[in-house]
């Protein structure tokens, strides 16, 4: 019969009710309910007593306890002999101590020492038969921490609850990890703070290890023949590109082409900073698949971006049959027939690509741009249209490696940080409404040169944000009465949005006033200035994305961050740096992973022990160790891996 909570010494009906209200239903739940924090009660030697510092000591009460009434708080006062010195002890707001302690009692005292008053203002007074140097705090309302400590002590000493090891001994030895039982023991009944750290390291490693095992179970790898692309045709195309690829672009292309040569499908994330040239990398990969006589599907989140990709691909791949499939495409039935009969080599589109009657003859590569803009089911519907297809994800959202791995599963990752040398750096300035004339002056100059200008606001109309489409439009038409001004926002129909954008692009010397709809995918070489209103409302990563809408050509470009609040320190990060990865990391620390990833979808982000920022080394080490074990030829038969193999093959 399984051990029940009610069987444990010290747990009565009332405590049982409290535990269950806190999600603790069985003894094993008690084990997993590790303390939230620990308090150091190790004795402070007298030579380390310093004025106004916290100390811990043992003392004998040498006087009667007195209750002194105060205007705001009552206090209990008594004297105690500590290290042969008589010290005044003061405790505020705990009148019950008068009845709990008496003269000659031995007590543990923790508090702030006052050298000049020869006193200790105590935060803790307790009677303990045996000194507990480290006190766990569980923070379960209605149950004293010491009570839980005694219950855990009985649980471990009785050995009635088996704690099975779930990691191979070779890993424990190699990584110098505690056993599972010892880790839980040190967390509940700690002997040193170093032991607590080692216990946490063990459980973090275990959590990372089995998370990777579950990710392996979800990995979608199929065997296929290596892609027979024509490297000579690809090299000929590269030679025609009117600029030299960056080292990061070359490395990303090499990563993909090495994947093509392998006998199984792959998923790869091309994670590139703003303006790092991801689209060219995707284009070269697509062309390689075309030379292998297979088809390519490229899905973008908006019709504007899909059309932009279509024009870009047509510019470099003049002899390749490329289709643009969107909601507006005329004669869709004919186009779908031509796609199925392989009359189109590359099909670029939006959600229209996932329609059931869009069928490919031989889909060999799927490219999903800004993939976090799509739901998981949307991506899967497109990917499933190919039998032995490879998948490329493109994202301009720089996120730390650990978070990228969790978000994109076991996709391989290629990082692109380097910007093309032909582009000038964007000059970023932080201004207020009082100094906005600086931006207006630069706008006048840009309009004279027939360049394009973006002005971004956080809302269409809002009581909470003074800078919105309506208010800023009134300001701009007064300052620039003769300039063409276009407005783009979510309340416009899709057709009106496209028309507005098209008019802006084809009108030299014009202004686009927009919400954050322009955050990604807008590539206008003559756009040289962007002003971002109420910049304090945006994260650094998003501001960096918006800044990337200018500086796409070889013209000097400017970004103005307009803020009505004191946000100098944070916005100065953007002024000083154009490294999207550094800015994203700062954002992650400041805003937290939950806020940072927002719409990113992953089932691997709910950790009990791991911290995705602080524990990257543990995370990657566990991945490396798991792969080493799973690559061993006897993984499925060696008894020491039986538990891992059963977990790996178990259907969920």
User: What pLDDT digit, counting tens, does each position of 255-299 carry?
Assistant: 999 999 999 999 999 988 888 899 999 999 999 999 999 999 999
Share of the chain above pLDDT 70, in %: 93
Backbone angles phi, psi at 57, to 5 degrees: -155, 160
Query: What is the rounded average pLDDT of the residues 76-85?
Result: 94
Query: What is the rounded average pLDDT of the residues 616-627?
Result: 91
Of residues 404 and 251, more confidence is placed in 251
Residues 5, 367: Cα–Cα separation, whole Å: 53
**Which range has the worst mean pLDDT, 229-243, 497-511, 627-641?**
627-641
Residues 64, 80: Cα–Cα separation, whole Å: 10
Q: Say whether pLDDT at 300 is over 80.
A: yes
Print burial letters for 512-548: b (CB count within 10 Å at least 16), e (below 16): bbbbbbbbbbbbbebbbbbbbbbbebbbbbbbbbbbb
Query: What is the rounded average pLDDT of the residues 219-242?
Result: 91
Are the beta carbons of 269 and 281 closer than 8 angstroms? no
Compute the residue count for the chain.
652
Residue 625, pLDDT score: 93
Angle, helices 580-597/568-576, rounded to nearest 10 degrees: 130
What is the average pLDDT value for the chain, to the nearest integer?
88
Q: Measured on CA atoms in the order 356, 358, 360, 361, is the torsion positive or negative?
A: positive
Residue 584, pLDDT score: 78
Of residues 379 and 229, more confidence is placed in 229
Q: What are the pLDDT digits (tens) for 131-183?
A: 678 889 998 999 989 899 999 998 898 888 889 999 999 999 999 999 999 99
- Indicate the burial class of 495 (C-beta count within 10 angstroms; 0-12, 13-18, 19 or more): exposed
Of residues 537 and 235, more confidence is placed in 235
Query: Going by DSSP bridges, is the β-strand pair 119-126/134-137 parallel, antiparallel, or unpaired?
Result: unpaired
Print burial letters for 444-459: b (CB count within 10 Å at least 16), e (below 16): eebbeeebbbbbbbbb
Per-residue pLDDT band for 222 (boundaries 50, 70, 90) equals confident
Region(s) of the chain under CATH 2.40.50.140: 42-126
**Whether domain 42-126 has CATH 3.40.1000.10:** no
Residues 67, 517: Cα–Cα separation, whole Å: 67
CATH topology of domain 426-577: Rossmann fold (3.40.50)
Cα–Cα nearest to 205, from 626, 606, 593: 626
Residue 595, pLDDT score: 54
Are the beta carbons of 537 and 456 closer than 8 angstroms? no
Q: Say whether pLDDT at 601 is over 70.
A: no
**Which range has the worst mean pLDDT, 268-277, 429-438, 568-577, 594-603?**
594-603
Residue 295, pLDDT score: 96
Q: Count H helices, E strands: the chain?
A: 22, 21
Give residue 46's Cα distance to chain centre.
47
**Whether domain 231-416 has CATH 3.40.50.300:** yes
Q: What are the pLDDT digits (tens) for 371-402?
A: 666 666 677 777 777 777 899 999 887 777 77
Q: Say whether pLDDT at 436 is over 50.
A: yes
Region(s) of the chain under CATH 3.40.50.300: 231-416, 426-577
Q: What are the pLDDT digits (tens) for 188-202?
A: 999 899 999 999 999
Residues 609, 623: Cα–Cα separation, whole Å: 16
Q: Say whether pLDDT at 516 is over 50.
A: yes
Q: Say whether pLDDT at 423 is over 50.
A: yes
Q: What is the DSSP letter of 318?
A: T
| Residue 632, number of CB atoms within 10 A of its CB | 11
Please give the helix or strand (H or E) that residue 66 lies within, else none.
strand 66-68
Query: What is the rounded average pLDDT of the residues 23-46?
Result: 91
Are the beta carbons of 211 and 174 closer than 8 angstroms? no
Per-residue pLDDT band for 599 (boundaries 50, 70, 90) equals very low
Q: How far apart are the first and last CA of the chain?
A: 27
**Which range has the worst mean pLDDT, 155-169, 258-272, 499-513, 524-538?**
155-169
Residue 652, pLDDT score: 41
Residue 542, pLDDT score: 85
Residue 371, pLDDT score: 64
Query: What is the rounded average pLDDT of the residues 101-121?
Result: 93
Residue 372, pLDDT score: 62
Residues 552, 556: Cα–Cα separation, whole Å: 10
């Amino acid at each position: 019969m399984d051990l029940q909570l009610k069987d444990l010494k010290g747990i009565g009906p009332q405590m049982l009710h409290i535990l269950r209200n806190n999600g603790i239903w069985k003894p094993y739940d008690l084990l997993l309910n590790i303390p939230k924090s620990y308090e150091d009660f190790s004795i402070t030697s007298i030579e380390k007593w310093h004025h106004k510092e916290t100390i811990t000591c043992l003392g004998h009460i040498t006087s009667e306890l007195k209750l002194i009434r105060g205007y705001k708080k009552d206090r209990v006062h008594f004297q105690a002999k500590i290290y042969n010195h008589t010290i005044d002890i003061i405790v505020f707001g705990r009148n019950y101590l008068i009845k709990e302690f008496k003269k000659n009692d031995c007590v543990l005292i923790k508090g702030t020492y006052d050298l000049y008053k020869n006193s200790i203002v105590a935060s803790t007074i307790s009677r303990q038969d045996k000194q507990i140097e480290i006190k766990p705090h569980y923070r379960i309302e209605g149950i004293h921490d010491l009570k839980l400590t005694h219950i855990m002590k009985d649980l471990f000493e009785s050995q009635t609850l088996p704690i099975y090891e779930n990691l191979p001994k070779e890993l424990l030895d190699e990584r110098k990890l505690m056993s599972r039982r010892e880790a839980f023991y040190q967390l509940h009944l700690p002997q040193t703070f170093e032991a607590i750290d080692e216990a946490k390291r063990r459980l973090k490693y275990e959590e990372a290890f089995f998370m990777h095992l579950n990710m392996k179970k979800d990995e979608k790898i199929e065997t296929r023949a290596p892609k027979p692309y024509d490297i000579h045709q690809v090299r000929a195309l590269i030679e025609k590109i009117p600029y030299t690829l960056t080292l990061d672009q070359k490395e990303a292309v090499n990563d993909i082409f090495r994947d093509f040569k392998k006998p199984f499908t792959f998923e790869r994330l091309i994670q590139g900073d703003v303006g790092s040239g991801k689209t060219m990398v995707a284009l070269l990969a697509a062309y390689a698949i075309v030379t292998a006589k297979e088809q390519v599907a490229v899905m973008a989140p908006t019709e504007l971006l899909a059309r932009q990709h279509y024009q870009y691909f047509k510019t470099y791949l003049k002899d390749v049959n490329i289709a643009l499939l969107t909601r507006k495409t005329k004669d869709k039935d004919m186009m779908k027939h031509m796609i199925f009969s392989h009359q189109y080599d590359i099909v670029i589109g939006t959600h229209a690509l996932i329609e059931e009657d869009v069928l490919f003859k031989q889909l060999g590569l799927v490219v999903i741009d800004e993939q976090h803009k799509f739901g998981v089911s949307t991506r899967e519907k497109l990917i499933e249209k190919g039998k032995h297809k490879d998948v490329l994800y493109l994202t301009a959202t720089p996120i730390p490696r650990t978070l990228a791995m969790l978000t994109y599963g076991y996709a391989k990752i290629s990082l692109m940080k380097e910007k093309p040398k032909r582009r000038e750096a964007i000059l970023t300035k932080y201004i207020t409404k009082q100094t906005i004339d600086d931006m207006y002056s630069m706008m006048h100059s840009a309009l004279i040169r027939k360049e394009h200008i973006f002005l971004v606001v956080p809302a269409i109309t809002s009581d909470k944000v003074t800078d919105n489409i309506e208010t800023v439009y009134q300001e701009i038409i007064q300052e620039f009465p003769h300039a063409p001004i276009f407005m783009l926002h979510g309340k416009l129909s899709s057709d009106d949005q496209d028309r507005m954008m098209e008019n802006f692009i084809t009108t030299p010397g014009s202004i686009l006033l927009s919400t954050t709809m322009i955050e990604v995918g807008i590539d206008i070489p003559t756009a040289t200035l962007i002003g971002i209103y109420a910049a304090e409302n945006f994260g650094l990563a998003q501001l960096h994305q918006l800044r990337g809408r200018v500086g796409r050509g070889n013209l000097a470009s400017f970004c103005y961050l307009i803020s009505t609040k004191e946000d100098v320190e944070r916005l100065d990060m953007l002024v000083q740096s154009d490294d999207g990865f550094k800015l994203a990391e700062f954002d992650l620390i400041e805003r937290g992973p939950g806020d940072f990833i927002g719409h990113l979808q992953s089932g691997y982000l709910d950790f009990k022990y791991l911290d995705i920022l602080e524990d990257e080394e543990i995370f990657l080490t566990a991945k490396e160790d798991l792969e080493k074990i799973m690559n061993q030829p006897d993984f499925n038969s060696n008894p020491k891996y039986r538990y891992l193999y059963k977990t790996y093959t178990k259907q969920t």
